Amino acid sequence: MVIAIFLGYLSIWYLFLLCFVFLLLTAYGSGIIQAQYFMPVTCGGETKEKNIAITFDDGPHPEITNQVLDILKEYDVKATFFCIGKKVESHPEVVREIDAQGHLVANHTYSHLRKNCWVIQEEKIKKELSQADEAIFKVLNKKPNWFRPPFGVTNPHIAKANKDLGHHVIGWNIRSLDGRLKDEQKIIKRVKKRMKPGGIILFHDIYPRILPILRNILEYARENNYNIVPLNELIKSNPYE
């Protein structure tokens, strides 16, 4: 086709259009984790039963995570924490407590990368992943099998880096937007509206507003006969190697 354009058979606009469609597809594939454009990602459980899993990203936080644990204990619910390696090193006692209470710990890179991680090379991402694995291993003596890309962004560099390390990549299908939205009621409404069998909810255990939100959602799940199950049960995958 490029030759055809040079020979004057086709308008240059076709080339522009092709480039535009390619860029659009790439942006979509990179930003929407459910698209699985660059790599396989588990974004929900395959079940018709009202089973859902709760996940928390970006912790551990020295105060909030413990309060989240208290609420989970009150409702007898097990969750998964996608931890940032650097924070695991700063607050190992919180990670030990997560594990001691029967919750799962997974990899969310060492420093959370940057949103625009297109420019970050494969080797650097590989290092981010293995450093987070090591930080968790030092505290729990277990190597995480699950990895969630920061911001849910995937690209060929992340795909290649992870291919060698072999983590099971985990996304979500219920995004609470608890980081972006400031209004608790809006967040609660959003999660309730999206609740469905096989749901994986994405929360963050770093904002104080998560506490009333979590309590509200756990109440709602109870009232509407949703079972909150551990993620390994929902997606049939081992959390540790």
Which residue out of 57, 58, 178, 205 is catalytically annotated? Answer: 57
User: Cβ closer to Zn ion: 58 or 178?
Assistant: 58
Least separation, in Å, of the C-beta of 16 and Zn ion?
A: 36
Total interface residues for Zn ion by CB under 5 A: 3
Stretch that binds Zn ion, among 20-28, 125-133, 146-154, 211-219 (CB under 5 A): 146-154
How many Å apart are CA 128 and CA 108, to the nearest integer?
Answer: 9
In the list 57, 128, 133, 205, the residue contacting Zn ion (rule: CB under 5 A) is 57
Count the Cβ atoms, other than its own, within 10 Å of residue 167.
22
Q: Which is nearest to 128 in space by CA: 112, 146, 105, 152?
A: 112
Which residue out of 108, 133, 204, 205 is catalytically annotated? Answer: 204
Angstrom distances, CA of residue 100 to CA of 78, 93, 96, 239: 11, 10, 6, 15
**In the annotation, is 205 catalytic?**
no
User: Cβ closer to Zn ion: 37 or 56?
Assistant: 56
Which residues sit opposite 51 in a β-bridge? 227
**In the annotation, is 57 catalytic?**
yes
Q: How many residues does the chain have?
A: 241
Stretch that binds Zn ion, among 55-63, 87-95, 160-168, 190-198 (CB under 5 A): 55-63
In the list 150, 171, 198, 199, the residue contacting Zn ion (rule: CB under 5 A) is 150
58 binds Zn ion (CB under 5 A): yes
Q: Which residue is nearest to Zn ion (CB)?
A: 57
Q: Indicate the SS3 state at residue 45.
A: coil
Least separation, in Å, of the C-beta of 4 and Zn ion?
A: 45
Stretch that binds Zn ion, among 17-25, 56-64, 153-161, 170-178 (CB under 5 A): 56-64
Please report the DSSP string for 156-202 in residue order.
HHHHHHHHHHTPEEB--SEE--TTT---HHHHHHHHHHH--TTEEEE
How many Å apart are CA 15 and CA 232, to the nearest integer?
Answer: 46
133 binds Zn ion (CB under 5 A): no
How many Å apart are CA 7 and CA 11, to the nearest integer?
Answer: 10
Binding residues for Zn ion (CB under 5 A): 57-58, 150
Residues annotated as part of the active site: 57, 204
